[in-house]
Chain A
């Protein structure tokens, strides 16, 4: 082994040698002279590095909580603008064969559906349809008469777990086609708000995601009637969003140009929560 191999500038494989660059900062000098140069460079480097580290840590701590939360919420909005620009209304989530369905389906979250429900009394109230002074009120029968649709897709919880579910119902877009004058997504208001009958849980959707062909108003799940725990008589299901957006026991739907309030967005989660 030659002396060159033990000192890094001489190493044959080093970029500086391959590129034939000179990287000497100084001429040949005494050992003490070299140490002096190194000393001043170290001082500068450590002072700068230390100051940057301290500024980072204390700068972040010093910021008021509201400023931080506000900033991070704006980051969510920024991410939303980037990722919603990439959203394709025709790109479909992968579907799975029936034997991949996970049974029993996991139940997670009873917000807005804790109380008993009288299914015979249930109605779907729809607001924000042009040319109507009052809500459009639909029964379960009305909804069952809409075109049927189904898919077996992977349901994803914001907590990080996922499960494969068979959903059956009607496309949200078919409801829109049946009861509103809108012909295209572009004509529609920008947002849709959905809430449980008691208003205990409510979510906001962007119109392109809720009009996605795999966004369903569901009344059958895994081949059976939707159970109360899973949101009977009618719930939302869509692979375009996390489960927090897939409202169970829908009581109200409102079309609006104002960004709707959202239960979990108020708790600091991403309003968009798009997948």
Chain B
């Protein structure tokens, strides 16, 4: 049995991925410090409140109350880094051609369904993996679009007069704030699922996001 070491994730992708982690964390944290001052959203189904964002215990446990000024200071600093890293990442994907591994392709949605069935242990047939499987292609593309959405809704809230045309396109100031909030919830949900999936995928996969490489076992030197 022989093997070779193969590059999986190139250095810029790895760097920007890991840099994004603390930046997104700081955006979410400072966003919560700001949101606390006017916490008006809840999850509703058929007119009934299912979950209120957020219960008082959540704020006191994390030490969030009365830190609006600090939240704004942090949010309006890290926004530059978060946006710069996100734009650099998107630019790299396009210029390097790496987007080909990432964007959904024809039939991705159909195949993603197979991925879901397989991962939920409903189907035993392993769907094609590639660098990213079709469910990953869809979700990772979506999360990049969410990042763009966060920047755009953020601008609409940050400068609703200077960007008034744009704020109106998003449905107005209050809608833009609502959209910005739900994108944050979307990131939190993505993060939770992502961490579980990475844990399930195992060490070999996880280390490749840090080292960039994976060992490919090649029976008898032939693929």
* Of A8, A53, A157, A264, the contact of B129 (CB 8 Å cutoff): A8
B7 touching A25 by the CB < 8 A rule? yes
How many A residues have CB within 8 A of the partner chain?
Answer: 71
Query: In this complex, what residue of A is CB-closest to B219?
Result: A3
A15 touching B126 by the CB < 8 A rule? no
Please choose the segment from A29-37, A184-192, A196-204 that sits at the chain B interface, where 4 or more of its residues have CB less than 8 A away.
A29-37
> Which residues in A have their C-beta under 8 angstroms from that of B49?
none
B100 touching A13 by the CB < 8 A rule? yes
A 112-147 binary contact with B (CB < 8 Å = 1; else 0): 000000000000000000000000000000000000
Q: Tally A-B pairs: CB < 8 A.
A: 178
For the complex formed, measure the closest distance between the CB of A6 and the CB atoms of chain B, giving whole angstroms: 6
* Of B1, B73, B77, B207, the contact of A42 (CB 8 Å cutoff): B207
For the complex formed, measure the closest distance between the CB of A136 and the CB atoms of chain B, giving whole angstroms: 30
Task: Give Cα A19 to B216, complex, Å.
Answer: 20
* Of A10, A49, A269, the contact of B72 (CB 8 Å cutoff): A269
A 231-275 binary contact with B (CB < 8 Å = 1; else 0): 000000001100000000000000000000000100111100011
B5 touching A87 by the CB < 8 A rule? no
Cβ of A38 under 8 Å from chain B: yes
> Which residues in B have their C-beta under 8 angstroms from that of A29?
2-4
Cβ of B174 under 8 Å from chain A: yes
> Which residues in B have their C-beta under 8 angstroms from that of A13?
100-101, 105, 130
Please choose the segment from B30-38, B51-59, B83-91 that sits at the chain A interface, where 4 or more of its residues have CB less than 8 A away.
B30-38
Task: Give Cα A91 to B159, complex, Å.
Answer: 12
B 175-219 binary contact with A (CB < 8 Å = 1; else 0): 001000000000000000000000000000001001111111110
A9 touching B6 by the CB < 8 A rule? yes
Q: Known interface pairs A14-B131, A23-B7, A25-B7. Does A86 touch B162 (Cβ–Cβ under 8 Å)?
A: yes
A75 touching B160 by the CB < 8 A rule? no
Task: Give Cα A79 to B80, complex, Å.
Answer: 10
For the complex formed, measure the closest distance between the CB of A209 and the CB atoms of chain B, giving whole angstroms: 10
Q: Known interface pairs A28-B221, A34-B215, A94-B168. Does A5 touch B4 (Cβ–Cβ under 8 Å)?
A: no
Cβ of B119 under 8 Å from chain A: no
B22 touching A76 by the CB < 8 A rule? no
A28 touching B4 by the CB < 8 A rule? yes
> Which residues in B have their C-beta under 8 angstroms from that of A160?
34-35, 37-38, 40, 177
Cβ of A24 under 8 Å from chain B: yes
Q: Known interface pairs A38-B211, A160-B34, A160-B38. Does A6 touch B162 (Cβ–Cβ under 8 Å)?
A: no
Beyond A41-B212, A268-B70, list 8 extra A-B contacts (CB 8 Å).
A8-B130, A11-B131, A16-B101, A25-B5, A38-B5, A53-B22, A161-B40, A268-B73
Residues of A within 8 A of B (CB): 1, 3-16, 18-19, 23-31, 33-35, 37-38, 41-42, 44-46, 49, 52-53, 56, 69, 72-73, 75-76, 79, 83, 86-88, 91-94, 154, 156-162, 239-240, 264, 267-270, 274-275
Query: In this complex, what residue of A is CB-closest to B76?
Result: A79
* Of A11, A15, A91, the contact of B162 (CB 8 Å cutoff): A91
* Of B130, B174, B211, the contact of A45 (CB 8 Å cutoff): B211
Task: Give Cα A88 to B218, complex, Å.
Answer: 64
* Of A12, A25, A31, A83, the contact of B2 (CB 8 Å cutoff): A31
For the complex formed, measure the closest distance between the CB of B104 and the CB atoms of chain A, giving whole angstroms: 10
* Of B34, B69, B164, B223, the contact of A268 (CB 8 Å cutoff): B69
